[in-house]
Structure 1
Amino acid sequence: MVNWRALSQTKQDRIWSEVNQLIKWMPGSRFHHIIPPDPYRVFDISSGMSSKAGHNDVSEVLSDLETSILKAFQSCTGKHDVIYALDWQHDGYIFSPHQTVPKDEFGEWPVPVFPNGDYYFFFYQDFSWGLLGDPWKRTITVFGKELLKAIDKYPPILFQDR
C-alpha cells in the first residue's frame, strides 16, 4: 500500500465539514478563530519563521518538529490506524504514520507539519485528537489527551521555551 493517498473530493468535503464543526472554524471569515475541543494547548511557532535565526538553525528546528510529531503520531496510533492530513484549499491525504513518509522536492511531507503559508491540519481517524497549524497566528494547536501526552514525551524544540 502506498502511503499518503489523496482523498477524493467527496471524502475531503465530508471531512472538512466535520472539521469545521469540531474546531468551530469558519475559513474565509475575518474571525477565523480555531477553537478545538478540550484539552488543548497552543504553541507559538514564530521562532521557526524567524529570519534572525540562521538558515541551518531553522531547518534543524523544522526537521526536529517533523521527527517529534511523527514519533508522537506513531505512539498514538496502531499499525493499521490512519491520520488525515489536510491542507486548506489543496488536496488532502490519508496516511499511516507507521509507514514511510514521502518527501517532495523541498524535502517536505505532502502536507507539512509547519504551517508555512497555509493552514495544515492533522486529525486521527476518529477526530479524537489532532494538530492544527495556523500560519497567520504563527501557532500550532495540539488537542486531545492522547496526543498532548505524546507531545510531552517527544517535545519538539520549537514547542519548548528557549
Structure 2
Amino acid sequence: MMNWHALSHTKQDQIWSHVNKLVKWKPGSRFHHITPPDPYRVFDISSGVSGKASNDDVVRVPNDLETSILKAFQSCTGNQDVIYALDWQHDSYTFSPHQAMPKDEFGDWPVPIFPDGDYYFFFHQGFSLGLLGDPWKCTITVFGEELLKAIDKYRPILFQDG
C-alpha cells in the first residue's frame, strides 16, 4: 500500500520508547493510564462499539471517524510531514495524510483510527500532536492545540458528546 510504510523493528522500538515516556504509559500494567502532554481531551467512543451501534452506524461511524481525523491531520501538517501509526504489539507504519489512503481487503487502514481491541496511537513526526485510542476504556484521547482545534472544525460523529 503505497502511502503506508512499515517501520523497522528497531525504529518501532525507538518510537514506542519515546511514546511511553511522552504519554506516561506503562503497557501491560493493570492500572494503565495514558497521560499525554497538555492540552488534551478524552472522547468517549463507546457508542461506536459493535453491539451498541445500529447496523447503519457500523459502517458510517468508522468511515466518518477516518474522514474527519484525516481532514484534521491534513489541516495541521505540511505536505512533507508524516504521521506515525502505531499498533501495540503489531506492525507500525508512517503515512502522509496528504496522499491517497489505500485500505486493505477488509476496507481498513493498516492501523485503524477506531481502537477495536488494540491500542492505536497516531503521532505527528515531531510528537507535538496525536491521537491515542484505548480499546479497554473505549476512548480516543486527542492532544496538541492545533489538532484539538482541527477536531472541533472536523468533528467526527463519535465525538459529538466530547
- Tell me whether the two structures share a fold, i.e. TM-score over 0.5: yes
The residue type equivalent to 1:56 in the other structure is D
Residue matched to 1:114: 114
Residue matched to 1:36: 36
Distance in 1 (alpha carbons) for counterparts of 2:62 and 2:2: 25
TM-score by length of 2: 0.97
- Does the 8 A contact of 2:2 with 2:102 survive in 1? no
Percent identity reads 79
Residue matched to 1:129: 129
2:87 aligned with 1:83 = no
Distance in 2 (alpha carbons) for counterparts of 1:100 and 1:32: 35
RMSD: 1.4
Which runs of structure 1 show a deviation greater than 4 angstroms over 4 or more consecutive aligned residues? none
TM-score by length of 1: 0.97
Residue matched to 1:5: 5
1:90-105 mapped onto 2 (5 Å cutoff): 90-105=90-105
* 3-state secondary structure, aligned to 1:20: helix
Distance in 1 (alpha carbons) for counterparts of 2:117 and 2:52: 19
- Does the 8 A contact of 2:6 with 2:91 survive in 1? yes
Distance in 1 (alpha carbons) for counterparts of 2:27 and 2:65: 25
Which residues of structure 2 form unaligned runs of 5+? none
* 3-state secondary structure, aligned to 1:122: strand
Which residues of structure 1 form unaligned runs of 5+? none
